[in-house]
Amino acid sequence: MDGNKIIARSLAQQGVQYAFGIVGIPVIDLAMAFQLEGIKYIGFRNEQAACYAAQAIGYITRKPAVCLTVSGPGLLHVIGGMSNAQSNCWPVIVIGGSSDQAQERLGAFQECFQVESSRLHCKMSARPPNLSSIPRFVADAVKLSTYGRPGAVYLDFPGDLLNATVSEEDTDWIPSIPEPPSTMASPCQVAKAVKLILAAEKPLFIIGKGAAYAKAEDPIRNIVNQTNIPFLPTPMGKGVVSDLHRCCVGPARSLALQKADVVVLFGARLNWMLHFGRLPRFNPDVKVIQIDISPEEFHSSLPTAVALHGDLRTVSKQLEEELVKTGHVFKDSSLWWMSLKEKVCQNREVNQRSAEDTEEPLNYYAVFHCIQETLPKNCMIISEGANTMDIGRTVFMNELPRHRLDAGTFGTMGVGFGYAIAAALWCRDNSPRKRVVCIEGDSAFGFSAMEVETMSRYKLPVIIIVVNNNGIYAGLDHGLFHDLADGSDPAITLPPTSLTPGCRYEKMAEMYGGKGYVCKSIKELHSAVENALKETSKPTIINVFISPVAQRKAQDFDWLTRAKM
């Protein structure tokens, strides 16, 4: 057996089902070996997008997928994806081909210090010393990517190792690594947490994507239903408990964070997304109960009042059992609940007024409301782009976990199409009637636009909606853009945030025989989404033109559109 076959068989024996990447010297035969072992290989147009797809599979399934890359520049392109996986705590195995060992330090083709380059961005970076040890290294990669805090691992394979051969009997095959153990928190700490929750006047649950990854939705839903305590989902924590649940206070996010006296973190971290748990966004006297698989996360930004170390699903079950015993129900008539409900109603009314404003050019809320109303229930929503993503999460309701993927903890732009391809593959294999909708800002669309050809090649009917405001954050209208672009030097006169006004992104659908739609009105958008839902084998691009100055809230001034002359 050669190295390619040993790697492929080792991965298959460990339960790996998907591989994403771009082939070239020296990994062409390795990709073919994947397919011979029953691992589905999806060839991308950009290595970074391939890595995003592989880690999205890891998030959705809790099983790592492979990102396959060529040596040198190929591996370096993937490092951004590895960092994203590390930051999001998603499992992924990156496999890189590298130059022959005999040619190292001689200026070999695409020679690069790949193991060293990857080490800062993953949990393990290693090169097997010989063929017989490959299964052990693969098993370690699967284990380290999923045990403890999940993340990325890197395995390096020189060309001469891939092409060398060894007898099957001399290969050290490793049994399938079991799923990570379900560790419990200390019962004393659980009792302490319950006591603190019961004593709180203004309790708040914050549900993060760690809860979605841990598949902890059942115990957390039971806790919310039992206690009637308000909860706030992070963007990818949406759906662990339905956004439509009576206890969801997402529209009152700022008030909930500022006033809560006891906060329980279910798989969320006090990083930038939660303002580090500090003033002015949080109560200075807030007490934090934190559930985390990684003990290093406790006391990271402010002292943790109760640290519950263990598997989130298991610990949530412990909390559920103890809280059910108390019979405690937080009353709707409390001042805390009444203030939250008032703020929820106020903010919903503001958003609804914006959604009802369908005057052209359109605004974000009108566009998103139309999409939300037209799509079937429980689509998988992929979203990226500054305003597109931020405003979209307040409009698109998720009732199921792991049904929203976005820029995440690392704030990465360009993830959309990789995530969408992974989600569409998972849907085809597990829930064929479920649709994947990728809602992109026009800037975000440009990062990975060629992956629409990848979607077409593998017959993935992703619905791509480009929310086109002619720029990054905000763009320029045709007149102002051309006034500035026609000056002496556009590199000086055009604002850095501007993109080409009215760019016809939907035309890219024609390159693979698909359909594209351009929309300027709600009627056109509704029709385009309905038509896209009828497509079953190709991606569709819907290009929606909105006002270049559309924002989260109405602006009384136009400084965002004025060039600084």
Structure tokens at 276: 């580090």
Torsion of CA 46, 51, 52, 57, to 10 degrees: 130
**Residue 106 pLDDT level (bands cut at 50, 70, 90):** confident
Q: How far apart are CA 5 and CA 8, in angstroms?
A: 5
Q: How far apart are CA 137 and CA 29, in angstroms?
A: 20
Beta bridge partners of 162: none
User: Do residues 385 and 444 lie in contact, with contact meaning Cβ atoms separated by under 8 Å?
Assistant: yes
Q: How far apart are CA 162 and CA 144, in angstroms?
A: 23
pLDDT, residue 554, reads 44
Torsion of CA 394, 400, 401, 404, to 10 degrees: -40
Torsion of CA 125, 129, 132, 136, to 10 degrees: -30
Beta bridge partners of 19: 41, 66
User: Do residues 108 and 100 lie in contact, with contact meaning Cβ atoms separated by under 8 Å?
Assistant: yes
DSSP state of 47: H
Alpha-carbon Rg for the chain in angstroms: 25
CB atoms within 10 A of CB 346: 12
pLDDT, residue 101, reads 86
- The average pLDDT across 36-54 equals 98
How far, in whole angstroms, is CA 98 from its chain's centroid?
29
pLDDT, residue 564, reads 30
Structure tokens at 555: 């602006």
User: Do residues 448 and 418 lie in contact, with contact meaning Cβ atoms separated by under 8 Å?
Assistant: yes
Structure tokens at 231: 């909860």
- Per-residue pLDDT reduced to its tens digit, 374-410: 999 999 999 999 899 999 999 999 999 999 999 999 9
| Cα–Cα–Cα angle for 274, 153, 417, rounded to 5 degrees | 65
pLDDT, residue 104, reads 82
pLDDT, residue 565, reads 29
Task: Quickly tell me which residue has 């051969």 as its tokens.
Answer: 165
pTM here? 0.95
Terminal Cα distance for the chain, rounded: 67
**Position 493: which residue type?**
T
User: Do residues 501 and 476 lie in contact, with contact meaning Cβ atoms separated by under 8 Å?
Assistant: yes
- Per-residue pLDDT reduced to its tens digit, 117-127: 999 999 999 99
